[in-house]
């Protein structure tokens, strides 16, 4: 068979073989899976379980699309690609590089533990995409208005205040995007939460209102917000601000966003509710992931790096709490953050 010595793509292209699956599993520490002609897992090695956390009972009889969050390129079993990237359903969203070998009654997949490089490369690609998308528009706007101020002094004099306000807004947008990216770098580190203070939801909302300005803050309705929180006021304001800004962004221009607070059994419950476009059910499991953005015309038009909800969820967890969402398309969304109140 020459498994592991000949170039795998040559083996896959030119040779069709019968394989003793158990013997092969004992020969390598890589995960091995036999895929039937119908595209279902027919055999699953102990090493495959060790690498993925997926047991044989869970794997056999199911497709790779069911076992993994993503399979790239997508499988079409009339023509199976020779190399696959499998995204695992674990907390770290780790990636496996799998090689496909053609056998007499289907295919054989081999995948190893060397996954960190692929995961890092994927994350780097996502960061570059997010940064370029989020920073390109404000940079172009600042340049355009600065050029107008320089090249058209008479026009600039009449509209100076408006032009300067736009430049300031876009500079704030740039600063916010950079802050989000820096905060993402801290997520998961022990020092994400470095201080814990007593504050109130009203105080945090006042901080957010100052940041958003009068036009946006006038659309925020408060209900029972005189409740206590304990934690890092800056981080809590950052998290709740993301929830409010998203609600404002995906609601009609004049629509109100409601913030509500409650204290139950030592838990401060903060809710941000809108009557906006809502989120389709298939997106709900993924919206708190890093860089995930719902692909709609509206989200493309409003921009965003896909970091806001990830940051908000990370801040909630750093405080020992949680962040959840309920949503109905064309009705609206409600985000619920639960933060334990410490003495």
Note the pLDDT of residue 102.
81
* Residue 1 within any structural domain of the chain: no
* DSSP sequence for 28-42: -SSEEEEEETTS-EE
Does 176 or 146 have the greater pLDDT score? 146
90: CATH: 3.30.450.20
Q: What phi and psi, each to the nearest 5 degrees, are found at residue 263?
A: -120, 115
Does 303 or 328 have the greater pLDDT score? 328
Number of structural domains in the chain:
3
Is residue 130 domain-shared with residue 44, that is, in the same domain? no
Is residue 231 domain-shared with residue 296, that is, in the same domain? yes
Does 296 or 171 have the greater pLDDT score? 171
Average pLDDT over residues 63-83: 74
265: CATH: 3.30.565.10
Supply the Cα-derived Rg of the chain in whole angstroms. 26
Note the pLDDT of residue 236.
92
d(C-alpha 213, C-alpha 248), whole Å: 13
Count of CB atoms situated within 10 Å of the CB of 307: 25
Range from 75-84, 100-109, 112-121, 297-306 carrying the lowest mean pLDDT: 297-306
* Residue 61 within any structural domain of the chain: yes
* Residue 159 within any structural domain of the chain: yes
Does 302 or 36 have the greater pLDDT score? 36
pLDDT, tens only, 16-53: 445 578 878 887 888 899 998 888 999 999 999 988 88
Average pLDDT over residues 80-89: 74
- Using a pLDDT cut of 90, give the percent of the chain over it: 26
Note the pLDDT of residue 257.
94
For residue 72, the SS3 value is strand
Calculate the CA 24 to chain-centre distance: 38
| Confidence bin at 106 (pLDDT 50/70/90) | confident
Average pLDDT value for the chain: 79
Domain assignment of residue 147, given as a range: 116-186
pLDDT, tens only, 178-234: 776 666 666 544 445 667 889 999 999 999 998 888 888 889 999 988 899 999 898
Task: Say if CB 231 and CB 196 are below 8 A apart.
Answer: yes
Tokens of 121: 């490369």
Calculate the CA 298 to chain-centre distance: 18
Is residue 40 domain-shared with residue 51, that is, in the same domain? yes
* Residue 2 within any structural domain of the chain: no
d(C-alpha 134, C-alpha 305), whole Å: 5
150: CATH: 1.10.287.130
For 29, half-sphere exposure in the C-beta direction (CA atoms, 13 angstrom radius) is 2
């Amino acid at each position: 068979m020459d498994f592991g010595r000949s170039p795998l793509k040559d083996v896959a292209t030119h040779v069709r073989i019968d394989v003793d699956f158990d013997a092969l599993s004992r020969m390598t520490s890589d995960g091995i899976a036999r895929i039937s002609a119908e595209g279902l897992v027919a055999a699953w090695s102990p090493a495959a379980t060790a690498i993925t956390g997926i047991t044989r009972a869970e794997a056999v009889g199911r497709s790779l699309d069911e076992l993994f969050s993503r399979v790239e390129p997508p499988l079409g079993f009339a023509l199976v690609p020779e190399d696959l990237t499998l995204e695992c359903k674990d907390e770290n969203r780790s990636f496996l590089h799998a090689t496909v070998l053609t056998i007499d009654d289907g295919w054989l997949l081999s995948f190893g533990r060397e996954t960190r490089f692929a995961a890092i490369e994927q994350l780097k690609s996502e960061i570059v995409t997010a940064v370029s998308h989020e920073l390109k528009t404000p940079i172009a706007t600042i340049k355009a208005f600065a050029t107008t101020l320089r090249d058209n002094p008479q026009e600039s004099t009449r509209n100076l205040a408006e032009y300067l306000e736009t430049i300031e807004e876009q500079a704030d947008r740039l600063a916010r995007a950079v802050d989000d990216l820096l905060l993402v770098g801290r997520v998961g580190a022990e020092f994400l939460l470095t201080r814990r203070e007593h504050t109130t939801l009203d105080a945090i909302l006042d901080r957010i209102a100052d940041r958003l300005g009068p036009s946006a803050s006038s659309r925020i309705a408060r209900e029972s917000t005189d409740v206590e929180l304990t934690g890092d006021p800056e981080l809590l304001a950052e998290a709740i601000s993301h929830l409010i800004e998203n609600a404002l962004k995906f609601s009609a221009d004049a629509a109100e966003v409601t913030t509500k607070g409650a204290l139950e059994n030592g838990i401060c419950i903060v809710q941000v509710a809108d009557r906006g476009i809502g989120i389709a059910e298939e997106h709900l499991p993924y919206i708190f992931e890093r860089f995930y953005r719902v692909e709609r015309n509206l989200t493309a038009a409003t921009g965003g790096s896909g970091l806001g909800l990830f940051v908000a969820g990370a801040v909630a967890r750093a405080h020992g709490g949680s962040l959840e969402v309920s949503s109905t398309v064309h009705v609206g969304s409600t985000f619920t953050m639960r933060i334990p109140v410490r003495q």
